[in-house]
Amino acid sequence: MADKRKPYQLVSKEWQSEDTIVDINGTRVGGGTFTVMAGPCAVESKEQLSTIASYIAKRGITIMRGGAFKPRTSPYSFQGLKEEGLVLLREVADKYRLNVVTEVMDVESIQMVGEYADVLQVGTRNMQNYSLLKGLGKIDKPILLKRGMSSTVEEWLLAAEYILVSGNPNVILCERGIRTFNQATRNTLDLGSLALTKQLTHLPVISDPSQGSGIRELVTPLSKASVAAGADGVIVEVHNQPEEALSDGDQSIYFDQFDNLLEGIKNYCQLEQKTINLDNPFSLEANPVRG
């Protein structure tokens, strides 16, 4: 009889039936919670980052995104502030009691990024960079693994398997849209595959409706749809001045749109009986009634 075992093991539900909960300094991702990670596509300046951090922290967000190393399609586009960006991320995040998720682009930078970040992001272009995945398996920080833009679900899970088998069980998968024939959106957010992946693995799975659509007006509806599809969270790009952004301005939402997004998904989380993680201590101190 043909061997029906899946090619991946450690990430599969057969291997472990209970959900993995990735604990990011107290924010529990997975296991019936819903986590909103937010921030700019790229760190641009202390002023920009502080304005955004202060805004999201007051709303209870506990995990801030922001790229310091940017993998841009064109070598002439803004490549990120690099280590200076990491320093800013740490400084600003500490002030507003936020955790930091930021991209690591190569195996040589794991140590440096790990010194500043709480979660290390593997971008879509690096999902099958196996030396990077193996290196990330040897550290003890959580990894956010984006799906390759042309990768199958099986390839994505096998990429996660590399990290687990190398020793790091703390992996969050992120559906960020795939390449399709459709040119109307930047990518096609593959929520069907997200729902399927939730059935195949015990790892938390979140979505990125910002890279997934490229259009800011679609970020809130796709976030709601992600809750309904079973996602454990979303990662969204928000900017104080999207038209001035050095990367991904068209898909970065305005502050008032971010408020609408939060209000909208709160209702969906209630329907899905998910507890939304909005317990940044900075926000509770700023608005004690919310606690």
Residues that bind ligand PEP (CB under 6 A): 41, 67, 71, 123-124, 146, 176, 208, 211
Residue 41 within binding range of Mn ion, rule CB under 5 A:
yes
- The distance of Cα 152 from the centroid of its chain, to the nearest Å, equals 19
In the complex, what is the shortest distance from the CB of residue 65 to Mn ion, in angstroms, rounded to a whole number?
Answer: 9
Size of the site for Mn ion (CB under 5 A): 2
- What mask of x and - would describe binding to Mn ion in positions 221 to 260, judged by CB under 5 A? ---------------------------x------------
In the complex, what is the shortest distance from the CB of residue 156 to Mn ion, in angstroms, rounded to a whole number?
Answer: 19
In the complex, what is the shortest distance from the CB of residue 22 to ligand PEP, in angstroms, rounded to a whole number?
Answer: 18
Enter the tokens of residue 200.
Answer: 């195949």
123 binds, among Mn ion, ligand PEP, none (CB under 5 to 8 A by kind): ligand PEP
Closest residue to Mn ion, judged by C-beta, is: 41
Residue 52 within binding range of Mn ion, rule CB under 5 A:
no
Measured from the CB atom, the residue of 142 and 283 that comes closer to ligand PEP is: 142
In the complex, what is the shortest distance from the CB of residue 287 to ligand PEP, in angstroms, rounded to a whole number?
Answer: 29
Measured from the CB atom, the residue of 211 and 240 that comes closer to ligand PEP is: 211
146 binds, among ligand PEP, Mn ion, none (CB under 5 to 8 A by kind): ligand PEP
Residue 208 within binding range of Mn ion, rule CB under 5 A:
no
- DSSP letter string over the chain? ------S--TTBTTT--SPP-EEETTEEESSSEEEEEEE-SB---HHHHHHHHHHHHHTT--EEE-BSS---SSTTS----THHHHHHHHHHHHHTT-EEEEE--SGGGHHHHHHH-SEEEEPGGGTT-HHHHHHHTTSSS-EEEEPPTT--HHHHHHHHHHHHHTT---EEEEE--B--S--SSSSB--HHHHHHHHHHBSS-EEE-HHHHHS-GGGHHHHHHHHHHHT-SEEEEEB-SSGGG-SS-GGGPBPHHHHHHHHHHHHHHHHHTT-EEE---HHHHHH-GGG-
Which amino acid belongs to residue 21? I
Measured from the CB atom, the residue of 146 and 274 that comes closer to ligand PEP is: 146
Measured from the CB atom, the residue of 60 and 177 that comes closer to ligand PEP is: 177
Measured from the CB atom, the residue of 48 and 211 that comes closer to ligand PEP is: 211
Measured from the CB atom, the residue of 150 and 270 that comes closer to ligand PEP is: 150
Cβ neighbours, 10 Å, residue 232: 29
In the complex, what is the shortest distance from the CB of residue 211 to Mn ion, in angstroms, rounded to a whole number?
Answer: 6
Enter the tokens of residue 76.
Answer: 């002439």
Compute φ and ψ for 62, nearest 5 degrees: -115, -10
Measured from the CB atom, the residue of 206 and 269 that comes closer to ligand PEP is: 206
Binding region for Mn ion (CB under 5 A): 41, 248
